[in-house]
Amino acid sequence: MDVEIQSRIKALLKQKNAILLAHNYQPPEIQDVADFCGDSLELSIRAAETQAEVLVFCGVHFMAETASILSPQKTVLLPRTDAGCPMADMVTPEALQARIESLPGVPVVTYVNSSAAVKALSTICCTSANAAAVVNSLDADEVLMVPDRNLARNTAAQTDKKVHLWDGCCPFHDILTPEMVLAAKAAHPEALFLAHPECLPEVVALADAAVSTSGMIRFARDSQASTFLVGTEVGMHYPLQKACPDKEFIMVSERMHCDDMKKISLEDVLRCLETMGGEVKVPEDIRVPALTAVERMIAVTAS
């Protein structure tokens, strides 16, 4: 059944000059039909570069918005427009504006896991793959990092700058405790531990690598080790195992399960391509300032 829907999706993608981009946490059957799977940074860059007229974005709302910010001339479709990001919802433009006014002159570094309206108020964006490079690129002694307090504290350990925090987090990465990691390490003493930078700093301190989702794939591929403990959303097991079929990946907690990342089904993708429904379009008054923040980030990554 999956194979039949996947082939109908592929035919429609071709017919509509569309490509399907999927985040690494998406369900396996979605990743298998995607033209490209990646982390947030890679997906933004791919969205900006592609010649396709239509982007079907399998991820959450902020990712489709970022694609629309970068490619206003393209049609960006999100097969489930109700797939959001609880962390992105932890900062509103109004609350951010008030905080900016309390920290005059301090640049705002905003995680891509945020709304376009929040990005529009920001100096520069970052992802889990480039947060330290972005912060260190700024000609300022202090920065405000929004909305992930864990990413901010983990980045603060890699810079001399004073980092002001916003009190948000990913509710799934935040539940992983050092005790859970230590218990997993005791059960698998030979394993290396991969943590996502959205985890608590006390968890990141135990990691052999604290990297983005695609950074985890690269690290596991290049490593001599054959067993890995993984501290991130459970969907990451599939692309890790696919990239390294001879290695073993053990998710430290099965409770790190993001429902929003699992909303899109193959049927949703098919319907979205048939009807061209689920368009995400950022209005120009928000898109233009948000684009400045996203393009500054891409420039730091490219340099």
Q: Which is nearer to ligand 13P, 12 or 69 (CB)?
A: 69
Structure tokens at 171: 């509710």
Candidates 113, 123, 150, 212; binder of ligand SF4 (CB under 6 A) is 113
Binding to ligand SF4 (CB under 6 A): which residues in 29-58?
A: none
Q: CA-CA distances (angstroms) from residue 302 to 42, 193, 257, 298, 299?
A: 12, 28, 32, 6, 5
> 3-state DSSP call for residue 36?
strand
According to CB under 6 A, which residues from 115 to 134 bind ligand 13P? 127-129
Nearest one of 43, 138, 151, 156 to 88, comparing CA atoms: 151
E strands, 152-259, are 162-164, 192-195, 209-210, 227-231, 248-251
How far apart are CB 62 and ligand SF4 at their closest, in Å?
Answer: 8
Enumerate residues 242-261 that contact ligand SF4 by CB under 6 A: 258, 260-261
Residue 60 interacts with ligand SF4 (CB under 6 A)? yes
Q: Rule CB under 6 A: is residue 145 a binding residue for ligand SF4?
A: no
C-beta closer to ligand 13P: residue 12 or 88: 88
Q: Which is nearer to ligand 13P, 85 or 96 (CB)?
A: 85
Q: Of 233, 272, 236, 258, which is closest to residue 83 (Cα–Cα)?
A: 258
Q: For the CA atoms of the chain, what is the radius of gyration?
A: 19
For ligand SF4, which is the closer residue by CB, 69 or 261?
261
Nearest alpha-carbon partner for 63 in 97, 36, 86, 39: 39
The interface mask with ligand 13P, positions 153-182, x = CB under 6 A, is -----------------x------------
How far, CA to CA in Å, does 98 sit from each of 112, 121, 167? Answer: 20, 11, 14
* Binding site partner of 172, from ligand 13P, ligand SF4, none, Cβ cut-off 5-8 A by kind: ligand SF4
Query: Closest separation between CB of residue 95 and ligand SF4, Å?
Result: 18
- Residues 6 or more apart in contact with residue 293 via CB below 8 angstroms: 110, 119, 120, 122, 123, 124, 125
Shorter beta-carbon distance to ligand SF4: residue 172 or 219: 172
For residue 200, state whether it binds ligand SF4 (rule: CB under 6 A): no
Can you tell me which residue has the tokens 């520069």? 124
Contact set with ligand 13P (CB under 6 A):
24, 39-41, 85, 113, 127-129, 170, 198, 212-213
